[in-house]
Amino acid sequence: MYYLLILMFVNICFADIHLSGVAKIRPRWDSVENHTDTTKSGDYYYLYQARLHLKADIGEGWYFSTKLGHNGIAYWAGKFSEGELPNSEALSIAGRSSLSFMELYYGLSREKYGFALGLVPINGIGNPVLDIHYYPRNMTEIPWLILNNNAYHGFSSFLKLGGGKLNARLSVDNNVKQSSEYNGMKTKSSDQNTVMLSYDYSNTSGMSASPWLIKTFGGDTLGNPLTLGANLTLSIIRGFTLFTSYYITSQSQEGTDTYSGNLLRVGLKGKIGPGTLVGWFDKTGYNPEDGNTANGSFVWIHYQYTLFKSEAGQVILKPTVRLLRKSENNQSTFSRSKFELTTVMKFQ
């Protein structure tokens, strides 16, 4: 409530502040099978979430931006009849979710260059590079969105260069005490930071390319992985776009898990009837030093239809199918199938 009162007060007092948001309700059938211990389960439930986005423009490209939501799986506040209870005697129907700053940053955005500092967004739903770099063991099902909520602490910048846009980012992954002393014993540690470089290029024929390089330094837990690859998008026939991504990663720092891995994505997007059909297939491989190879596949298909649209917002329906399969040493270990309908209301 305090967050909302503050937002309303600021929005009234300052004409250059823009408030927008999104609310979602998602009924889902969730089927899980663990092939290792031969267990199966099925569950029908409802997920819900809401996010409020506030952006303030103070002039000449300087701005502040923040997003309020729940720091849960992929922003979801939870399932119906779940959440924090006001009292130990309260029923589950009294469960509620908390609010957090999901994004909080300020910066400068000009025509040719810009930067941002703070809790900065980076969308991973259409770009699997962060999935394979940060979550190589579980890269198959969009973990950057599910587990990181599409944001990191650090710095981002861009520069228009050579017909495209050069992006440079620095993520502070883990902040530790650099030096300490106990009973005369001195220890030294280093923060874990990740550098991300990418270049976005597109032309008038509908082709776009985005090569990426990501390198982690000073990591005592994640190690020092290096990830390389690119995203490519092509207009193939009228109304349809082919998109593909391929990335490789490796980590060789002693004292941590050493591995190599790869991820291939192939997808298609196009207008069908009154809506848009999007689908992709991911194939992943994770090869640790101990030889227990893990492979995975993931299929995502959704159809997005705009039920209502006005200058103030829109209502969207999005039926989706998600199929996950995992194996170890060529033996099937896990499968999960989700059939869901996401209902969305956006306002601005």
Answer whether residue 182 is part of any domain.
no
pLDDT band at 13 (very low <50, low <70, confident <90, very high): low
The whole-number average pLDDT for the span 35-42 is 90
Task: Tell me how far apart the alpha carbons of residues 299 and 320 are, in angstroms, rounded to a whole number.
Answer: 10
Answer whether residue 11 is part of any domain.
yes
Tell me phi and psi for residue 162, to 5 degrees: 60, 35
Number of residues in the chain: 348
Overall domain count for the chain:
1
Answer whether residue 23 is part of any domain.
yes
- Which of 66-70, 214-218, 313-317 is least confident? 214-218
- Above 70 in pLDDT, residue 45? yes
* Tens digits of residue pLDDT in 107-161: 999 999 999 999 999 998 989 999 999 999 999 989 999 999 999 999 999 999 9
Identify the three-state secondary structure at position 252. Answer: coil
Q: Say what percent of the chain tops pLDDT 70.
A: 91
- Above 70 in pLDDT, residue 22? yes
- Above 70 in pLDDT, residue 280? yes
pLDDT band at 15 (very low <50, low <70, confident <90, very high): very low
Q: What would you report as the CA-atom Rg of the chain, rounded to the nearest whole angstrom?
A: 22
Token reading at 94: 């009294």
Q: Residue 47 belongs to a domain with what CATH number?
A: 2.40.160.10
- Above 60 in pLDDT, residue 314? yes
The whole-number average pLDDT for the span 78-92 is 91
Q: Are 229 and 246 in contact (CB under 8 A)?
A: yes
Mean pLDDT across the chain: 91
- Above 70 in pLDDT, residue 184? no
Q: What is the DSSP string of 92-143?
A: GGG-B---EEEEEEEEEE-SSEEEEEEEEE---TT-THHHHHH-GGGTTS-H
Answer whether residue 141 is part of any domain.
yes
Owning domain of residue 142: 2-177+187-347
Q: Residue 18 CA to chain centroid, in angstroms?
A: 24
Torsion sign across C-alpha atoms 122, 126, 132, 136 = positive
Answer whether residue 195 is part of any domain.
yes
